[in-house]
A = this chain, B = another copy of it.
């Protein structure tokens, strides 16, 4: 496994693969990798000849009160894990390598689907994601790019701008990796105390109960109220509980496939999760 820290170095490393028309798979990450990320790499490994993983904590997707400076940087450990699952190239650029010395004037915004759910509390966040992911796509020029369904809204935003801008690659969404007790894997789980870690699986349990309720014809409104109540009772502070179509359009009835979204704080740690629920008439 090679590690490249410059755009030029990465291009040189990828040049033989590109010339040989090998399939290039790309997994963008901010590092601090867990099984969720490694699953993305495993999927890329299955489908592609060459697997590139980027590790870059992107300053422009953090808000002024968010944890950019304290975001964990664990490159050595990440590199070991990536080598084990068959990554070929780690791309770990500096902020200056990615953004240069001249001011960036260009912004990419995706309307409508970034205005609610996680976008509501994080103005500009998805713009920052869209810009950095577009840059990385242009640098790596992969055939396939892999993103987790855990960040479902992020995945939908990326699918949208890839389609709108004709970016020549295919986006692959990979199902959420969960701990044995159902908790969706996340870098933020490391912030939880032992007690909070015991509580956190209630999110997934509640979503599974909601799925059952929907399939037993409980109304969507009632189900959303039930989720909120269950999470609040367990000691979480709910940020949002929402239902959307798979394309993130609002819906008030369960008469099509939909996705249930939860964001809630456990102590200081904000956790998100979602569950896709199939409608069968």
Contact = CB atoms under 8 A, between A and B. Distances in A.
A113 B108 contact: no
A168 interface: yes
A168 B106 CA distance: 16
A134 B165 contact: yes
A206 interface: no
Contacts of A111: 105-107
A7 interface: yes
Contacts of A232: none
Interface string A141-176: 100000000000000000011011111100000000
A105 B163 CA distance: 10
A139 to B, nearest CB: 5
Contacts of A120: none
Contacts of A112: 105
Given A19-B21, A21-B19, A164 B110 contact: no
Given A19-B21, A21-B19, A105-B160, A139 B110 contact: no
A60 to B, nearest CB: 11
Interface string A85-118: 0000000000000001010111111111100000
A2 interface: no
Nearest to A167: B138
A135 interface: yes
A100 B165 CA distance: 11
Interface of A: 7, 19, 21, 100, 102, 104-113, 130-131, 134-135, 138-139, 141, 160-161, 163-168
16 contacts: A100-B163, A102-B163, A105-B110, A105-B164, A106-B109, A106-B110, A107-B108, A108-B108, A109-B109, A131-B164, A131-B165, A135-B164, A135-B165, A135-B166, A139-B166, A139-B168
